[in-house]
Amino acid sequence: METTFKKMKHRTIITQENGRYFLTDRIRDEVNFWTTAQSEGIHPPPAQKPAPTDSRVIMLPGRDSWSIPPCDIQSAIADRQSHRRFTTAPLTPDELAFLLWASQGVRKVLHKAAVLRTVPSAGCRHPFETYLGILRVTGIESGIYRYLPMDNAIVALREGENLPAQLTAAARGQAFAGQAAVTFIWTVIPERTEWRYAEASYKVIALDAGHVCQNLYLACEAIGAGTCAIAAYDQTLLDDLVGVDGDQEFSIYLSPVGKIR
Ligand SMILES: Cc1cc2nc3c(=O)[nH]c(=O)nc-3n(C[C@H](O)[C@H](O)[C@H](O)COP(=O)(O)O)c2cc1C
């Protein structure tokens, strides 16, 4: 499928008419599913972006060793709310591993390009990568990291100098993004979903993102932490901060997390 995204990047292309159309499922009547990359026998993109060569990979504690208190699902749902004020307490590596697992963890590897995760995804395509702006996690230096869900690890991408100010600017001045213990930043690699659904990918990608963040909200309830979804961000600043090209991969959603009690 030819992409015109780069050319359209700086233009307003959404009208009320086509925006509402996007929310319907009429696109499915128009896509020729016989000509998708999957139908043409092209290999699916990998489920996890590899770590850059020579990068520092930090293994996260395994699920069987976490010290995370049990949490009643009814209370977690009843108490969930958006939090924009955090204490200065750090998260522990167990808590970070738990939040990453809850939002994007792998339940089962089907093969290199298809995994089941803790959240649902249309066609099991799971098009997201999770980047972290780490400010306060015990034993982990401040910086930008990326989650490697297949390895239960994070990879260090860059150091954290000026990170609070950069996160705040990337969140269009929403200061709590730079005051969190860790800000979760999700990017999308649209090709993972386009491989199966072509132009019918975009609505389901947006739906998929909601599940990821909701699981983060609920997991925060178990550890005395809070979060607040952010969809209002500066596309260029956030893409540059996490180091993605803004075309084949770009940021789509973020959610700062911090202790609230
Ligand atoms: C898709 C989405 C985008 C949002 N974007 C922002 C945002 O940019 N800034 C913000 O402060 N809150 C944002 N929120 C949080 C909402 O304002 C919040 O969910 C709403 O006010 C209801 O409050 P509650 O989450 O405590 O129930 C967003 C929530 C969602 C689901």
**pLDDT value of residue 1:** 47
For each of the chain's 261 residues, which pLDDT tens digit applies? Answer: 444 555 566 667 889 999 999 999 999 999 999 999 999 999 999 999 999 999 999 999 999 999 999 999 999 999 999 999 999 999 999 999 999 999 999 999 998 889 999 999 999 999 999 999 999 999 999 999 999 999 999 999 999 899 999 999 999 999 999 999 999 999 999 999 999 999 999 999 999 999 999 999 999 999 999 999 999 999 999 999 999 999 999 999 999 999 998
**pLDDT value of residue 13:** 85
pTM of the model: 0.96
Q: How many CB atoms lie within 10 A of CB 4?
A: 9
Angle between helices 201-222 and 16-23 (to 10 degrees): 70
**pLDDT value of residue 113:** 85
Alpha-carbon distance of 92 to 187, in angstroms, equals 24
Ligand 1 pocket, mutate which of 79, 82, 213, 252 (most atoms under 8 A from CB): 82
Alpha-carbon distance of 166 to 170, in angstroms, equals 6
Q: Please choose, from the candidates 226, 227, 229, 223, the residue with its C-alpha nearest in 3D space to the C-alpha of residue 206.
A: 229
- Closest atom of ligand 1 to CA, residue 83: 26
Give ligand 1 pocket residues (Cβ under 6 A): 81-82, 84, 174, 228-232
SS3 category, 155: strand
**pLDDT value of residue 220:** 98
H or E segment to which residue 110 belongs: strand 106-111
Residue 142 contacts residue 159 (beta carbons within 8 Å): yes
